Chains A and B, each alone.
Chain A
Amino acid sequence: MIKATAWLRALLAALALTQGGAQAAPPPLPADPQGVVASLPATSPHWVWVNDFVFPHMPDGQALLVDGDSGRFLGMLSTGFGFSRVVLAKDGKMIFSPETYFSRGTRGTRTDVVTMYDPAHLAPVGEIVIPAKRSSNMPMMGDVELTDDGRFLLIYNFTPAQSVTVVDASSHKLVGEIETAGCALVYPTGARSFFSICADGSLLNVHLDGGGHATSQDRTGHLFDVAKDPVTEKGVRVGDTWLFVSYGGVMYPIQVAPDGGLTPGAKWPLLSAAEQAQQWRPGGLQQLAAHAGLNRLYSIMHRGGPQTHKDPGKEVWVYDLANHARIQRMAMKNDSGAIQVTHDSKPLLFSAFIESTTLDVYDATSGQYLRSVEHVGTTPTILVTP
């Protein structure tokens, strides 16, 4: 049997060789060069970083880079235990990532660092050791932010004492730590200012000097009722306004004055009375997105009781920030727990959900579904766009 098959193959090969030139076997393929590593072209505004704390294997945190236009998976970063998110330098020339490592993986000496990655090669180019105190929590954008001019990186710590580590992002050195007792997370407001949210519903407004040290720390009055209808930590910013939505779907704007002073703006509802009666409410891990150019706010919406403020939704409602009117209800193909928009003039909207590894892409202007990218991460959390 085997001999017969071999004979047949030899006959066919011989026949092939005796055919005309057009049907001759192609020349053998050349060897591939060794050690070729891809690098990335210049960052496109339609790329998205999908941050993933990899809950079943938390020491193996990751950030995954996807091209929203082509749907192509471009590469990833390995980012250690209890990962939160990457921060992109304002000039696009560096990626900062606060990370935690234990000397034996799941035990041993803990070291926290800000790893700096080259955006073209997605490889570490350096690290800055920071106090081993960075907060380990459900990832939030407010875990780490840059000041508006990109000079200082601010990292929220929880030990359970609360503080903010300041890193000089241009000299790549640790500056110091600012005590922010009773208050959490960082929300930048200028080149040398940020605020944190405090447990009594006030804000802690912090100003920095040229070297990144705190020059003043002032608490505002109580801006919302923590017991009755607290705002979530998942605020978004449009220009000089921070927007925080409450569990019940009320928007609390915070106006930032040129000197960094904070003033509450007039509250406005995301829901009509009828919609409230039907128990529509915002939900998700990254439930809001905002596009400054279009002056639009996007909110994941679902129907659920008062304690469902982290539930995903199958709709994203779109509001005109000029008049607070809802202008669109986007139907999501899949459950949405995190949304983010790109910041160019033809923006995309990305949607992810921690229980799914599919990333969905939409046109943020028309609401049209464009494409899905499969197998992105393990437990994707929050999304970062350039």
Chain B
Amino acid sequence: MLRGLLVLVVLWSCGGRVAGAYEPRINYMLQCMGCHTPDGSGEPGRVPSVKETLVPFAGSPDGRRFLVQVPGAAQSTLSDAELAELLNWMIQNLSLTRSAGVPPFTAKEVASYRRTPLVAVQATRATLIRQLSGVSSQKP
């Protein structure tokens, strides 16, 4: 029993999936693709692209918090573990810039941000974009 638990914990922290959950690319389709479109480019003027900002945001504490707290993520029907896995998948598969060195999200980290809802989404995003150097300006 204990060994089984240990195995489960190891799988969890390595990004292993909760039994019965969808793969993260499927969760992207079900939770995000409808608005952010299949490759994450969104729709100019209406839905922000995630491609340019995933890695830069994930590289700062404020940015990581935003990626979890943005309502589409925070209010999705995913568990904290599934949301962490999804964010990691998006960083690996949708972002335009290299993701080496970006610490993966964990369920615990997601849970800590997710408890606080974000109200001023556009302003927070704009501030993050201004603060981060080397990111091409992206209008929402």
Give chain A's interface residues, CB within 8 Å of chain B: 159-161, 179, 181-183, 198-200, 202, 204, 217-219, 227
Number of interface residues of B (CB under 8 A): 16
17 A-B residue pairs with CB within 8 Å: A160-B35, A160-B47, A161-B47, A161-B140, A179-B119, A179-B122, A181-B70, A181-B71, A182-B71, A182-B72, A182-B75, A182-B121, A199-B75, A200-B117, A217-B119, A217-B120, A219-B119
Contact between chains at B77 and A181 (CB < 8 Å):
no
Return chain B residues, CB-CB under 8 Å to A159. 46
Is B128 part of the binding interface, using a Cβ–Cβ cutoff of 8 Å? no
Q: Is the interface of B mostly helix, strand, loop or mixed?
A: loop
Contact between chains at A179 and B117 (CB < 8 Å):
no
Is B118 part of the binding interface, using a Cβ–Cβ cutoff of 8 Å? yes
Is B74 part of the binding interface, using a Cβ–Cβ cutoff of 8 Å? yes
Name the distance in Å between A218's Cβ and chain B's nearest Cβ: 7
Contact between chains at B121 and A181 (CB < 8 Å):
yes
Q: Of B47, B75, B121, B122, which contacts A200 at CB under 8 A?
A: B75
Q: Of B35, B46, B117, B121, which contacts A202 at CB under 8 A?
A: B117
Once the chains are docked, how many angstroms separate the CA of A204 from the CA of B100?
A: 38
* A-B contact sample (13 more), CB < 8 A, given A182-B117, A183-B71, A217-B120: A160-B35, A160-B46, A161-B47, A181-B70, A181-B121, A182-B74, A182-B121, A198-B71, A199-B75, A200-B117, A202-B117, A219-B117, A227-B77
Instruction: Name the residue of chain A whose CB is nearest to the CB of B117.
Output: A219
Contact between chains at A200 and B119 (CB < 8 Å):
no
Return chain A residues, CB-CB under 8 Å to B140. 161
Instruction: Name the residue of chain A whose CB is nearest to the CB of B73.
Output: A182
Instruction: Name the residue of chain A whose CB is nearest to the CB of B35.
Output: A160
Once the chains are docked, how many angstroms separate the CA of A178 from the CA of B140?
A: 15
Instruction: Name the residue of chain A whose CB is nearest to the CB of B70.
Output: A181
Return chain B residues, CB-CB under 8 Å to A227. 77
Q: Of B35, B70, B77, B121, which contacts A179 at CB under 8 A?
A: B121
Once the chains are docked, how many angstroms separate the CA of A244 from the CA of B118?
A: 24
Name the distance in Å between A177's Cβ and chain B's nearest Cβ: 11
Once the chains are docked, how many angstroms separate the CA of A226 from the CA of B117?
A: 16
